[in-house]
Structure 1
Amino acid sequence: MAETKEKMPDKGGALPSQKFIEIKGVQGNTLLLKSGGLRQILMISGINFDLKSEDEQEMIIGSFQSFLNSLDFSIQIFIHSRKLNVDNYLERLVLRESEEENGLLKNQISEYREFIKSFVGENAIMAKNYFVVVPYDPIQLSGGGEAITDKIFGVLKKKGIGKPTERLPESGESDEKQLSRHIEQITHRVDQVVSGLNQIGLRAVSLNGDELLDLFYNLYNPSVVERRNAIENE
């Protein structure tokens, strides 16, 4: 299991970002929270809804509504927007231009590269990634307050939505066996979500350990990532 103990770069004595999140570690595709809860995150493909016919749009909306109604647990849907970095693409164009022997094509590649560079420099081109968070909480804490992890991960707490999780009885089961059983339960939920999204025409892929760490590092350290890219491209 990967523990989230790597220190994030800080600036001006600021606390590292992991102080503000409730992630204890990562096992396989599953986030282990300090509260004992589990989360899996799915990356979802997009569809161009505006290009669909009116009948197709109504069908998609109906399928999505049926999908949500089929769930007996809450999910979170979130969009991660970042400024698109086209440096690698521009480098490939430079290489393509240097390899091109046809003078006319070489000139067209050069003009296209300059256009892309100028356009991106003057306009903030955003890349959007779509995610679904699937929760599983083996222990329901007492009290009416909402846990901090529920606020961080956006797990909805609406009346009539989501099946409450009962406190587990004491047993001689080892922690490792309990964790394995809990991961099996959240995997069943993930399979249900993936199947429902596939019926809408959306492809869903569960993020693995490295991808999860990268996602949260980017979420909580956007300026560090941008600065690192700038340094690497110097």
Structure 2
Amino acid sequence: MAGTPANAQDLVVLEEITKSTIVLKGGRLLQVVMVGGVNFSLKSEEEQNIMTYAYQNFLNSLDFPAEIIVHSRKINVDKYLASLEERQSKEQSALLQSQIGEYREFIRSFVKDNPIMAKSFFVVVPFSPSAIPQADTFTKFLPFGKKNPAKEQQAAEARHTEATEDISQLNQRVSQVVDGLKAIGLEAE
């Protein structure tokens, strides 16, 4: 099938980002909440149960969809190992030089067998405004449907007011998510 190649801009669904709100081409709004992690396995069984039930209650309290994203990436420790090597060469005590060298080798072999991962957690909160069809959609194509500057100004003001209300509703959702995550004991911003 030979067709015209797709324009890269057509593939991007992002229209703009304003005041921490992502506006998609279809009019959908998104905000991303960054969430701090917690080492769940270091918690006592009672604390784990409390967090699990709090998380369950948080999810059940949401009356809208939310997307949870976990981003993991391997940490490169080469700079850290280089700084240890530099510190070792500058160290005057033979004992400390030896200890730094052993520590550096331990880190190098540990990372070789067990990659160190950095994890970032995000919650994407969406809002889809209700689409209200405009009454003049058909008449604007007719030759007698002349443009009315006053009506155009009024329509622009109505769109602005509607966008402000939509962002306000999205902000309420984000506040609900942040408060729910804080109730679990997680940092969210």
Do these two structures clear the TM 0.5 threshold for a shared fold by scoring above it? yes
1:85-117, Cα deviation, whole Å (9 max, x unpaired): 223323433444345443322322222223323
User: What is the TM-score when the length of structure 2 is the normalising length?
Assistant: 0.72
Aligned to 2:111, the other structure's residue is in SS state helix
Instruction: Find the aligned partners of 1:69 and 1:199 in 2 and give their Cα distance.
Output: 14
Please tell me whether residue 201 in structure 1 is matched to residue 185 in structure 2: yes
Instruction: Find the aligned partners of 2:96 and 2:8 in 1 and give their Cα distance.
Output: 48
Please tell me whether residue 191 in structure 1 is matched to residue 166 in structure 2: no
Aligned to 2:50, the other structure's residue is in SS state helix
Q: 1:157-196, aligned counterparts within 5 Å?
A: 167-168=131-132, 172=155, 173=157, 175-196=159-180
Query: Offset of 1:27 from its aligned partner?
Result: 1.6
Aligned to 1:85, the other structure's residue is in SS state coil
> In the alignment, is the contact (CA less than 8 A) between 1:90 and 1:113 conserved in 2?
yes
Query: Offset of 1:168 from its aligned partner?
Result: 4.1
Please tell me whether residue 22 in structure 1 is matched to residue 13 in structure 2: yes
Query: Offset of 1:24 from its aligned partner?
Result: 1.8
1:120-158, Cα deviation, whole Å (9 max, x unpaired): 23443332222111111113xxxxxxxxxxxxxxxxxxx
Please tell me whether residue 55 in structure 1 is matched to residue 39 in structure 2: no
Instruction: Flag the 1:200–1:36 CA change in 2: closer, same or farther, 3 A.
Output: same
- Structure 1 counterpart of 2:28: 37
Q: 1:5-16, aligned counterparts within 5 Å?
A: none
Q: 1:82-121, aligned counterparts within 5 Å?
A: 82-121=73-112
Instruction: Flag the 1:169–1:17 CA change in 2: closer, same or farther, 3 A.
Output: closer
Aligned to 2:171, the other structure's residue is in SS state helix
Please tell me whether residue 128 in structure 1 is matched to residue 119 in structure 2: yes
- Structure 1 counterpart of 2:150: none
Instruction: Find the aligned partners of 1:169 and 1:117 in 2 and give their Cα distance.
Output: 63
> In the alignment, is the contact (CA less than 8 A) between 1:138 and 1:168 conserved in 2?
no
Aligned to 2:125, the other structure's residue is in SS state strand
Instruction: Flag the 1:122–1:51 CA change in 2: closer, same or farther, 3 A.
Output: closer
The alignment of Structure 1 onto Structure 2 pairs a total of residues equal to 164
Amino acid at match of 2:112: G
- Structure 1 counterpart of 2:139: none
Instruction: Flag the 1:99–1:178 CA change in 2: closer, same or farther, 3 A.
Output: farther
Give RMSD over aligned pairs.
Answer: 2.7
> In the alignment, is the contact (CA less than 8 A) between 1:44 and 1:203 conserved in 2?
yes
Question: What are the ranges of 5 or more consecutive residues in structure 1 without an aligned counterpart?
Answer: 1-14, 140-166, 206-234
Aligned to 2:115, the other structure's residue is in SS state coil
Indicate the percent of aligned positions where both proteins have the same amino acid: 48
User: What is the TM-score when the length of structure 1 is the normalising length?
Assistant: 0.60
Instruction: Flag the 1:195–1:100 CA change in 2: closer, same or farther, 3 A.
Output: farther
Instruction: Find the aligned partners of 1:16 and 1:60 in 2 and give their Cα distance.
Output: 47
Instruction: Flag the 1:20–1:95 CA change in 2: closer, same or farther, 3 A.
Output: farther
Instruction: Find the aligned partners of 2:30 and 2:24 in 1 and give their Cα distance.
Output: 8
Instruction: Find the aligned partners of 1:69 and 1:83 in 2 and give their Cα distance.
Output: 33
Aligned to 1:204, the other structure's residue is in SS state coil
